[in-house]
Amino acid sequence: MEFKVCNSEELPNNSMKVINVQGSDILVCRSNERLFAFDNSCPHRGASLSKSDIKGTRIVCYMHDFEYDLNSGKLEHIPNKWKDQNPNWTKSDNLLLFSVSEKDGEIYVRL
């Protein structure tokens, strides 16, 4: 299903907004004039990604600096400072992405 999440002017370039859709917190962001939508919970340890930084087409989780690609959802980088941790601790799923579109001044997410 597709849900209207906000008006376009509520999401200027290089900004993000958490929207609750069907009981799930979805983070919608606009970076370099492109829209992305994904689960607000970091797949590594569940931190709120809305407190994180978006750098181009990547989001860098504020808690452990794991980097995820916003196009594919794949974990792209684990900082070296965590490499000596137990492999179970550094294990992470990929980012859960949602289809996002913009039409007639409104932004929609498909769940």
Percent with pLDDT over 90 in the chain: 95
**Does pLDDT of 65 surpass 90?**
yes
**pLDDT tens, 78-103?**
999 998 999 999 999 999 999 999 99
Domain boundaries defined on the chain: 2-106
Section 53-64 average pLDDT? 95
Listing DSSP states for 42-104 in one string gives: -TTT--BGGGSEEETTEEE-TTT--EEETTT--EEE--GGGTTS-HHHH------EEEEEEET
- Look at residue 80 in the predicted model and tell me its pLDDT: 94
Considering the segment(s) 2-106 as one domain, its CATH architecture is: 3-layer Sandwich (2.102)
- Look at residue 83 in the predicted model and tell me its pLDDT: 87
